Amino acid sequence: MVSKDEIFPIAIGTWKIDPDNFDNDLRALLHSYERGQNYLSLYMMYNNGGVVKQMRQFVKCVNRDKLFINTNLEPTIARPGDVEVQLDEYLKILGLDYVDSLQLHSPWFSNLPLEDVYGEIQQLVDVGKVRYVGVSNANLEQLARIERVAKIDFFEGVYNLECKLYEDMGAIEYCAHSDKLFMAYQPLRRNRTAMRNYPVLADLANKYQKTQNQILLNWIVMEKRLLTLVKSTNIERIDENIGSLSFKMDMGDYDKLNKFRSEEFDNVAVNWDGTGVTIDQLANQFE
């Protein structure tokens, strides 16, 4: 089984995997796995479960014990028993008897108190159907509530050059000091950060003879010490992403990225109750 310390720094995202034309995507997934990517993030809400159904093929092609599978509870959790029902659906579709981590995709996806949901997840860990507890799209107050009933191992949150809210609120530091791995999703903002061609990124890409996306991933993994969640079904792009781990930049250059701020994104008011602009939509507010 893959331990927390063995997770590859770039995880496999599955957003917009095409379940109707899966042969190409399967080849890309297998290439990712062969290059060392061993963390697979699954959401039942993608294509109404179609992505998860196709992932059974991928899981059957690899060594299960060398693949870390993260699964997400989707809306809406109305009763405590809904947690195990949703987990069992993943297990049935994938042909597995356990998943590596389980998390509520967003706190507002539940009609129950977070303590009730995560109490159920912790019980599933205790009986061996789940290995680790994950949390996604929560704030520090919500994290503290969850920790009353569960041992949190993973935190999944948006983080990139422009969206630094989780760093500002202290969540990244909190995870680092409490043995929680922070999984940064949308680290490239689906290529939109590079498309803006910020001078600092363009200069660093030129200096190190790398792409802007490689500069971004290198900074988040090497300097911020975070895991990253990236979806790609293009083999050249997969190799490009993994190539971001093959070099180091000068500390002064990392510091330029650390100090970079986007007033545009900083001024977005995020709501934590599921209304308005929610944290999972922060990175999508601007092109």
Q: What domains are defined for the chain?
A: 4-284 (3.20.20.100)
129, 97 Cβ separation under 8 angstroms: yes
The reported pLDDT for the residue numbered 47 is: 83
Q: Is 286 left (phi over 0), alpha (psi -120 to 50) or beta?
A: beta
The reported pLDDT for the residue numbered 46 is: 87
43, 16 Cβ separation under 8 angstroms: no
Q: How many CB atoms lie under 10 A from the CB of residue 267?
A: 8
Q: What is the pLDDT of residues 191-217, one digit of tens each?
A: 999 999 999 999 999 999 999 999 999
Task: Give the separation between CA 238 and CA 258, rounded to whole angstroms.
Answer: 25
In degrees, to the nearest 5, what angle opens at C-alpha 257 toward C-alphas 159 and 37?
50
Task: Give the separation between CA 94 and CA 39, rounded to whole angstroms.
Answer: 15
80, 116 Cβ separation under 8 angstroms: yes
Between the alpha carbon of residue 19 and those of residues 43, 196, 229, the distances in Å are 13, 31, 20
83, 75 Cβ separation under 8 angstroms: no
111, 254 Cβ separation under 8 angstroms: no
At 54, which amino acid appears? Q
Q: Which two tokens stand for residue 6?
A: 């063995």
DSSP string, 53-94: HHHHHHHHHS-GGG-EEEEEE-S-B-STHHHHHHHHHHHHHH
The reported pLDDT for the residue numbered 45 is: 86
The reported pLDDT for the residue numbered 157 is: 98
Q: Which two tokens stand for residue 11?
A: 């995880």
Buried b (16+ CB within 10 A) or exposed e, 74-97: beebeeeebbbebbeebbebbebe
Q: To which residue do tokens 């029902």 refer?
A: 85
Burial class (CB in 10 A: 0-12, 13-18, 19+), 272: middle
Counting as low any pLDDT under 70, the low residues of the chain are: none
The reported pLDDT for the residue numbered 169 is: 98
